Structure 1
């Protein structure tokens, strides 16, 4: 294994420190662990917090800033943050309008965020949360009861964050966040694994001519493994699952072609070329396309497709101003 690290036990802390030094106008690190918050706290709005295991960069710290998250909590690589870390993040960002937690559907994440919410509410901080479960590949996995929360979570950060910036109430921000959860679907595939620094070896093995369909963002198994195919055929497999799970007929959608960390932009654009053609043939209008690394799996070679079925409110909020390290407009 070769990685540009110093000490596997210090990866998460040194990563967060480096991120804050790169974006001091956006981010500030708390003293209680790997928790980043907006450099300048904004009062008078619902505060948003999200997070999970490290290894998904730029998620989640890269989306802290104006128009998106107020705090992100980073556990060890692919490991849920502790309730105490999350609680400290909540306390640092809480306003009189309350806090919304955006939690991906992994058992450890849900349990620890719920415990932190209980701690915060005992201190008089109003807290609500949504659980993202956009993955259509696997209903129950090694880490979940129900569907996994994956790259579609980024749309929740953006749209709920924009709603919060308007001064909306906690109930209103929660409602639009849940609307995004209800209308986004994702599925991914991978052709090579990643290496967790502390483990020092690949999380799984794939033959040179194999692909894993429906893989999770921690390298969890998908629906099946098969021989490698051309990019267009892989897109067809994933889109068939997504489009059969939610009726997108006649809809406008936001499209996210998300890289898993080791997939070149060249290949992501090749994938998007066919995705756009298929959606056009089916009468599904792409309102906005995002291509790149938004929620990765360290250096795994893979990608996912996320489709968000839009209404006028979501379109307006998706287009609203955001200024974070990983999302600017």
Structure 2
């Protein structure tokens, strides 16, 4: 096992200590596994809380800050955080305007955020919840009932976060988040398997010269396995899968996301192919983001997420954001 770690048991705590050292403007509670923006709670502002298993960085802790999340709850690697973490995060960011939970559609996350909502509401915190389920690859998987939550989580957190930063009430922030999710679809491809610190070996078998189309962010199986394809061929398959489900009638936001081990040179080349397919299908691209944002440790591969944008979505996407992993306009 070749990993830049001490021991598997302290990977998450070590990462949180490093996050705190690099970004002193955040309040990082290593013991209780909660990352909170330094000025929380902000008077009159809806709090945004998300979280999930570690190993998908910068999701979610790297998106805590002005214009995005108010707090994030990292679980163990590929394991949901526990309800107490989420309830503690909600209490830390609640200013009296309420809290929105952004939840990826994985069974553990859904169940634990439901319990956390009950705990928070028992303490007088008003909580709304939005489920992200954008993955078109499979309807049900090893971890979900229904579609998985993947790249659209970034769109939901950024755009709902901007609405909250403007002072929108909880009902409005929730409605914006739901609209972004409903207008977003994703498809992922694995070129190499993922290795978790605890296991030390690949979590699934992907022979040399093959790829998995429709992979999940925990290494869940996808639609099918094929011999290795070119970037052009992969873009044709992935974008067509998204467009066949989304069928946008307006310009889109495009996220070309690396799964953790794919270099930016390859991602930018793949982005060129994504834009080619969209142009051939007559779909204008309003904004593009390329990089490693919703990852799966050391998995080689990529995903494509498209969101059908409107004027409000574009305005909120362009609004200032300042987080460890995403920042512009300030």
1:53 aligns with 2:53: yes
Q: Is the 8 A contact 1:47 1:99 kept in 2?
A: yes
The equivalent residue for 1:253 is: 252
Q: Distance in 2 between matches of 1:256 and 1:172?
A: 24
Q: Is the 8 A contact 2:150 2:217 kept in 1?
A: yes
Unpaired stretches in structure 1, ≥5 consecutive residues: none
Shift of 1:199: 1.1
Q: Is the 8 A contact 1:187 1:214 kept in 2?
A: yes
Deviations 1:5-45 (A, max 9, x none): 011100001101101110112x1112652110001212210
Deviations 1:167-214 (A, max 9, x none): 111000000000001000000101111111011111111111100000
Equivalent residues in 2 for 1:57-206 (5 A)? 57-206=57-206
Q: Distance in 1 between matches of 2:264 and 2:183?
A: 27
Q: Distance in 2 between matches of 1:95 and 1:183?
A: 30
Q: Distance in 2 between matches of 1:266 and 1:30?
A: 36
The DSSP-based 3-state class of the residue aligned with 1:303 is strand
Deviations 1:270-305 (A, max 9, x none): 111111111112221111100000110001001000
The equivalent residue for 1:302 is: 301
Equivalent residues in 2 for 1:233-252 (5 A)? 233-249=233-249, 251-252=250-251
The equivalent residue for 2:218 is: 218
Shift of 1:310: 0.3
Greater alpha carbon shift after TM alignment, 146-155 vs 281-290: 281-290
Structure 1 segments, 4+ long, off by >4 Å, are: none
Shift of 1:123: 1.1
Q: Distance in 2 between matches of 1:237 and 1:4?
A: 34
Q: Is the 8 A contact 1:105 1:131 kept in 2?
A: yes
Q: Is the 8 A contact 2:16 2:30 kept in 1?
A: no
Deviations 1:228-256 (A, max 9, x none): 1111001111111111101114x111000
Deviations 1:124-179 (A, max 9, x none): 11000100000000100000000000011100000000000111110000000000
- Provide the aligned length of Structure 1 versus Structure 2: 327
Unpaired stretches in structure 2, ≥5 consecutive residues: none
Greater alpha carbon shift after TM alignment, 273-282 vs 76-85: 273-282
The equivalent residue for 2:323 is: 324
Greater alpha carbon shift after TM alignment, 102-111 vs 237-246: 237-246
The DSSP-based 3-state class of the residue aligned with 2:191 is strand
The DSSP-based 3-state class of the residue aligned with 1:192 is coil
Q: What TM-score, normalized to structure 2? A: 0.98
Q: Is the 8 A contact 1:32 1:85 kept in 2?
A: no
Q: Is the 8 A contact 2:13 2:30 kept in 1?
A: no
Q: Distance in 2 between matches of 1:30 and 1:267?
A: 36
The DSSP-based 3-state class of the residue aligned with 1:291 is strand
The equivalent residue for 2:227 is: 227
Q: What TM-score, normalized to structure 1? A: 0.98
The equivalent residue for 2:285 is: 286
Greater alpha carbon shift after TM alignment, 256-265 vs 282-291: 282-291
What value does the CA root-mean-square deviation take over the aligned residues?
0.8
Q: Distance in 1 between matches of 2:119 and 2:97?
A: 17
Q: Is the 8 A contact 1:137 1:223 kept in 2?
A: yes
Q: Distance in 2 between matches of 1:28 and 1:124?
A: 23
